[in-house]
Amino acid sequence: MDKKHWQVLIQVLLMALAGQAMAEAVDECVSDGGRYTRVDPIFESFMRDQHVPGMVYGIVQGGRLVHCRALGVRDIESGEPVTFDSLFRIASMSKAFTALAILRLRDEGKLQLDTPAEHWVPQLAGLRYPGAEARRIRVRDLLAHTAGFVTDDPWGDRQLDMPEAQFTQLIAQGVPLAYEPGSTYEYSNYGYALLGRVVTAASKTQYQQYVQREILQPLGMQSSRFQLSEVDSRRRAVGYRYEDAGWQEEPILDDGAFASMGGLHVSARDYTRFVRFMLGAWVYRDEHHSRIASRSTRKEMVQAASFLQSMPPEPGDPAACAATRVYGFGLQAYTDCRFKSFFGHSGGLPGYGSNVLFFPEYDLGIFAFSNRTYARAEIAVKKAAATLYDSGALQARTLQASDALRAAENLVTQIYSAGSVTAVPQSLANNLLLDRSARKRDAELQAVRVKLGACQRESQMNVRNMLAAVIKYRCERGTLAVDVLLAPLQSPSFQRLEFTAQD
């Protein structure tokens, strides 16, 4: 490294050690108070430990950006800082946009997920399968990484700028299969490159143009681009590798046939819109987003489409806990010891490392982009989420009670007032008194009434879903909690009804 590079390196490291914002774009990134700033040391440590020249991260909650910081430099040569509008290549996080394009075409009736992929990519017809009983690769298999192709992270990353003609030749030659299609999960960039061909064939529009027109522009992601020539060089975060105690610029690959597996450049400003769009599948807002993809389609992206995998805690990571994951369509779904369900994706290419996680239960999304080769941004993002959870900074979104639960609430009031579960016999599903007799249930209810006394009619309802809730009432000597689960019947009928006294 020359003297100028060393000066920039020393400057960034000193700022990190001092715990400063590292060229933070204060006028472009916002903070919603102290509960989010507690994640800042996590990302500062990540930059030091991973030797990252520059990064940006953001937290979206309740449909708005509540915390964002831009750190370090986008270009070591010029020393220009990262900003909220710096453009990072997000690598495999692009796969979510490819999957969204496929599902959008499916919803328009232009393709079917269970159609053999060779229908759209004719060169696949000559592929040699392992065994006479092996089924043909479907579009669905490409989406879920169950096509049988070998994992190709190091190889696929270098094919990003492959010309279309060369890709056609590669497909026609017939790449070898590692597994029989549909037998296991195996991550494949090649498979997602094939999906780009499917989008092009089904839409009769080049993949990049289709995604730009049908997804990015309607979302307001005006700066996001695939083609390098369309990326503003004054805003592009230059990618580096850290080698021999110094940063070396990575040659930037142009847009090509593998764009659909990882070629998208985005800014934090643009990506905030995509995070809001995905979380909107669980929260009723932004009705116009359903013109891009319905809520059900967005949820479908994170439903299990592959094979379940266990994820043991990483050694030495206090924020980690045992987890499971499964691939959906362009996104991975997780569950762990903290969060019931969440989803996201990482991205890694020469010069870049990124990650996003979505937590629908909390209407929360956290993302980070960096400009160092394969920097493991998921470590910082997961720790940030764990820190917010453990500190109590997160509050689960409140579900609204359905008409069925409101009707059940009135029935609970009548039963408690009468002191007998048989006071409203038509409200009991046929299993309730078989599971525990009326005599036993009435005795338990009388004990709760003696302890609590009379209760107010107004309640607080913790809704689990449209047919299940815990209903709480303030009483003379404590709180009444009623666990309600309705049967799958038209009239509200209790298949579970448990009265508990709380001090």
CATH at 24: 3.40.710.10
Query: Domains in the chain: how many in total?
Result: 2
Residue 295, C-beta contacts closer than 8 angstroms, at least 6 positions apart? 280, 281, 282
Residue that terminates a domain, selected from 347, 369, 390: 390
Judge contact between 93 and 260, C-beta under 8 A. no
> Does residue 414 share a domain with residue 267?
no
C-alpha to C-alpha distance for 142 and 190, rounded to whole angstroms: 9
> Does residue 385 share a domain with residue 364?
yes
> Does residue 368 share a domain with residue 240?
yes
> Does residue 235 share a domain with residue 378?
yes
**Bridge partners, 266 (sequence order):** 88
Residue with tokens 């500062």: 44
Q: Is residue 116 part of a domain?
A: no
pLDDT values of the chain reduced to their tens digit, one per residue, 503 residues = 554 455 445 444 534 443 333 333 333 577 766 889 999 999 999 999 999 999 999 999 999 999 999 999 999 999 999 999 999 999 999 999 999 999 999 999 999 999 999 999 999 999 999 888 899 999 999 999 999 999 998 899 999 999 999 999 999 999 999 999 999 999 999 999 999 999 999 999 999 999 999 999 999 999 999 999 999 999 999 999 999 889 999 999 999 999 999 999 999 999 999 999 999 999 988 778 899 999 999 999 999 888 888 877 766 665 667 788 999 999 999 998 899 899 999 999 999 999 999 999 999 999 999 999 999 999 999 999 999 999 999 988 888 899 999 999 999 999 999 999 999 999 999 999 999 999 999 999 999 999 999 999 889 999 999 999 999 999 999 999 999 999 999 999 999 999 999 98
Q: Is residue 62 part of a domain?
A: yes
Q: Is residue 363 part of a domain?
A: yes
pLDDT the model gives residue 368 = 98
Residue that terminates a domain, selected from 363, 390, 417: 390
Q: Is residue 180 part of a domain?
A: no
> Does residue 408 share a domain with residue 463?
yes
pTM, whole model, 2 decimals? 0.87
**Containing domain of residue 250, as a range?**
3-98+205-390
C-alpha to C-alpha distance for 161 and 152, rounded to whole angstroms: 16
Phi, psi of 220 (to 5 degrees): 85, 20
User: Which amino acid is located at 390 in the chain?
Assistant: D
User: Which amino acid is located at 314 in the chain?
Assistant: E
Residue that terminates a domain, selected from 362, 390, 418: 390
pLDDT the model gives residue 322 = 75
- Cα–Cα distances (Å) from 26 to 21, 31, 455, in that order, read 9, 9, 52
Q: Is residue 127 part of a domain?
A: no
Q: Is residue 106 part of a domain?
A: no
> Does residue 407 share a domain with residue 362?
no
Residue 143 burial (CB < 10 Å; 0-12/13-18/19+)?
Answer: buried
Question: Which stretches does DSSP call E strand in 62-171?
Answer: 64-75, 80-81, 87-89
> Does residue 409 share a domain with residue 384?
no
Q: Is residue 164 part of a domain?
A: no
Q: Is residue 145 part of a domain?
A: no
> Does residue 288 share a domain with residue 228?
yes
**Bridge partners, 481 (sequence order):** 472, 500
> Does residue 311 share a domain with residue 440?
no
C-alpha to C-alpha distance for 194 and 181, rounded to whole angstroms: 15
Q: Helix (H, G, I), strand (E, B), or coil: what is residue 457?
A: strand
pLDDT the model gives residue 52 = 97
